[in-house]
Amino acid sequence: MILVTGGAGFIGSNFVIDWFAHSDEPVINLDKLTYAGNLHTLVSLSGDARHVFVQGDIDDRELVSRLLAEHQPRAVINFAAESHVDRSIHGPGEFIQTNIVGTFNLLESVRAYWNALPADDKEAFRFLHISTDEVYGTLSLEGAPFAETHAYKPNSPYSASKAASDHLVRAWHHTYGLPVLTTNCSNNYGPYHFPEKLIPLMILNALAGKALPIYGDGQQIRDWLYVKDHCSAIRRVLEVGMLGDTYNIGGWNEKTNLEVVQTICVLLDELEPRADGNSYVEQICFIQDRPGHDRRYAIDARKLERELGWKPAETFESGVRKTVEWYLANPDWVGNVASGTYRDWIQTQYGA
Ligand code: NAD
Ligand code: TYD
């Protein structure tokens, strides 16, 4: 079996659901259930003996060591993190705690477990760390997309904390021989995406008749990847990735934020037209920019394509259509996440 951390969040839950579409190998899913974790997302797995959910912290060595000893996983995939740049600007402490200290404690628990494994299991074991392209910092418009050799220059508390965690993972391989793999992925989107992030926030605000708040001039560029393509890349890296290597994962879909929001508006105009017949584009507004806002991210995913034979299945156009359709078809999930502390966050970030 495998142990997944953060499997009740956006990418982790998609990964677990997708895993069982391809395999019957059981998954232990360890998640702290912060505001970003949601068991409602995993409801399709309730009663499924292949899935064991445990609420807990990657920082908790006693708990993690017990889970490892009890379930003897052949791999650990670490999705658990604080993941939202804007929240990291308002309060970086949790990011340092989970993304750096938490990863350190997880590595130490895993190292002790791995050291005690019989030789064959020890050789087969993998620790796969899920990271982000944001560790590389920002690109100019003319700059070549981030390859694995690009220098780390993180600019936000979030990206700095993820960069630190990547360095820890690398060092645990180099120093202790822990069999690690690291992936650095571009911006994901798709089902179960918490509506604090650009794409789901815009879909839900549009439908609620609210403003669509674009930071600054909306010309920042992100490289978008449909979440299921990220999941297939992770499975591939786990299967055949070279020990100690890092792999950049991206969709070759560079878009400005304004283009992304306009695309969502056009799709909603088609799929759920406004009662007054006008376009959702009318709801777009420009607000104060994010401090330290990175201008452009772009991923060069050729290593993963060349060495491991992976390619994304979705274009941005096909993936974003699926995503909008999913949000329209799942009002219960939306109602469940968009309550309570979510409202407090929206007030803190956009209230003024
Ligand atoms: P998310 O915020 O939606 O989910 C994170 C999950 O981790 C939540 O379920 C949360 O409860 C859990 N968690 C947080 N702290 C924990 C702790 N201390 N112990 C155990 N569980 C904890 O994040 P996501 O978008 O699914 O991102 C998953 C991973 O992928 C992160 O490491 C992130 O840095 C990385 N990543 C995300 C993107 C993206 O576009 N979302 C892109 C590239 C990489
Ligand atoms: P986000 O989804 O927060 O991802 P990240 O910051 O990790 O790339 O934001 C994506 C882009 O959208 C980023 O350039 C910030 C911008 N953005 C807005 O313009 N308005 C918003 O309300 C949000 C949440 C993001």
Does 31 contact ligand 1 (Cβ within 6 A)? yes
Q: Is 201 in the pocket of ligand 2 (CB under 6 A)?
A: yes
Best substitution site from 3, 5, 11, 13 to test ligand 1's pocket, by max atoms within 8 Å of Cβ?
Answer: 11
Predicted confidence at residue 161, as pLDDT, reads 99
Instruction: Tell me which residue has tokens 């200290």.
Output: 101
Q: pLDDT tens digit string along 213-268?
A: 999 999 999 999 999 999 999 999 999 999 999 999 998 999 999 999 999 999 99
For residue 57 and ligand 1, the question of a CB distance below 6 A is answered with: yes
Q: Is 85 in the pocket of ligand 1 (CB under 6 A)?
A: no
Q: Which bound ligand lies closest to the C-alpha atom of 188?
A: 1
Choosing from 31, 57, 59, 133, the catalytic residue is 133
Please report the pLDDT score of residue 352 as a whole number: 60
Ligand 1 atom 41, closest CA: 188
Cα 42 to chain centroid distance, Å, stands at: 16
Asked whether the beta carbons of 110 and 68 are under 8 A apart, the reply is yes
Task: Give the atom of ligand 2 at the shortest distance from the alpha carbon of 293.
Answer: 14
Own/partner long-range contacts of 68-72 (Cβ < 8 Å, ≥24 apart): 68/3, 68/109, 68/110, 68/113, 69/113, 71/1, 71/3, 71/28, 72/1, 72/121
- 76 CB within 6 A, ligand 1: no
Domain residue spans of the chain: 2-191+226-252+296-313
Token pair 């376009």 is found at 279
Q: Domain 2-191+226-252+296-313 belongs to what topology?
A: Rossmann fold (3.40.50)
Atom of ligand 2 nearest to the CA of 85: 6
Ligand 2 contact, 350 CB (< 6 A) = no
Q: How many other β-carbons are positioned within 10 Å of the β-carbon of residue 207?
A: 17
Q: Which ligand is nearest to the CA of 230?
A: 1
158 in catalytic set = yes
Q: Is the CB of 34 under 6 A from ligand 1?
A: yes
Ligand (nearest to CA of 257): 2
Q: How far is the CA of 187 from the centre of ligand 2 (A)?
A: 10
Rounded to whole angstroms, the Cα distance separating 55 from 32 reads 5
For residue 320, report the distance from its CA to the centre of ligand 1, in Å. 21
Decide: 3 in ligand 1 pocket, CB within 6 A.
no
Q: Would you call 120 a catalytic residue per the annotation?
A: no
CA distance 55 to 70: 16
Cα of 197 from ligand 2 centre, angstroms? 6
pLDDT along the chain (352 residues), means of 10: 98 98 97 96 96 98 98 98 98 98 99 98 98 98 98 98 99 98 98 97 97 98 98 98 98 96 98 98 98 98 98 97 98 89 89 74
Q: Where are the alpha helices (DSSP H) in 257-340?
A: 257-271, 302-308, 316-329, 331-337
Q: Is 134 a catalytic residue?
A: yes
Distance between CA atoms of residues 190 and 226, nearest Å: 6
Prediction pTM value: 0.98
- The CA distance from 28 to 182, in Å, is 20
- For ligand 2, atom 5, the nearest C-alpha belongs to 85
